[in-house]
Chains A and B, each alone.
Chain A
Amino acid sequence: QVQLQESGPGLVKPSQTLSLTCSVSGGSISSGGYYWTWIRQHPGKGLEWIGYIYHSGITYYNPSLKSRINISVDTSKNQISLNLSSVTAADTAVYYCARHRLSGYSDWFDPWGQGTLITVSS
């Protein structure tokens, strides 16, 4: 059973770069068939798709964040990473990683990691 676990600094100062890691266990990222997605949720708000990556390195990003984000994959560590630059208080959120399946005209995210709260504050 695939499990995902996010890890990150918890607190980041404004203007700095946020770096998060998603560790995947119970399955290999490099086996293919799935994308790996980052999603965030501002406190008390809804879900926001950030972007996703395939094991080959192909990425798609949310246009509203594209200039500040980079998602990468390390198949040797079975990890996905998210870097978000020039953070502000508006980037304070719970960040989730999720396994993403695409089939035809259908996408779905399952399972999700437990999420990690990132607070941007000086």
Chain B
Amino acid sequence: SSELTQDPTVSVALGQTVGITCQGDSLRTYSASWYQQKPGQAPVLVIYYKTKRPSGIPDRFSGSSSGNTASLTITGAQAEDEAAYYCSSRDSSGDHLMFGGGTRLTVL
């Protein structure tokens, strides 16, 4: 199918580890990238090329992929990580891009 599925909400206790997943058939072929968006701000790239972090992104953010699922892991979540997270990839045709519906992360 040409869609990326994310859990709408996820919560994590301060300092704990949380995983955010993105599922889609196209992920068997195409890599996912991940974006963090805080209220009122533009999205920011946090993971690309499945596992790479842009400069300036803390190393507590990591990415992985297996089969039709891409994952974003935050190891030792901080209060400032509370945000919406979106995955993105190509659709199965390879011609078009798409985003997952987003996961709103709450840090308790």
Contact = CB atoms under 8 A, between A and B. Distances in A.
Contacts of A26: none
Given A46-B101, A47-B86, A48-B99, A109 B45 contact: yes
B97 A37 contact: yes
Number of chain A interface residues as a range: 20 to 34
B89 A107 contact: yes
A47 B99 contact: yes
Contact of A109 (B29, B31, B33, B49): B33
Interface in B35-67: 35, 42-45, 48-50, 54
A101 B33 CA distance: 11
B79 to A, nearest CB: 23
Q: What does DSSP make chain A's interface, helix, strand, loop or mixed?
A: strand
Interface residues of B, number: 25
Contacts of A106: 30-31, 33, 48-50
Contacts of B44: 110, 112
Given A46-B102, A96-B42, A105-B29, A110 B48 contact: yes
Q: Which of B35, B89, B100 has the most CB of A within 10 A?
A: B35
Interface string A94-116: 00100001011111111111110
Contacts of B80: none
A103 B95 CA distance: 14
A107 B100 contact: no
Given A106-B30, A107-B33, A46 B100 contact: yes
Interface of B: 29-31, 33, 35, 42-45, 48-50, 54, 86, 88-90, 95-102
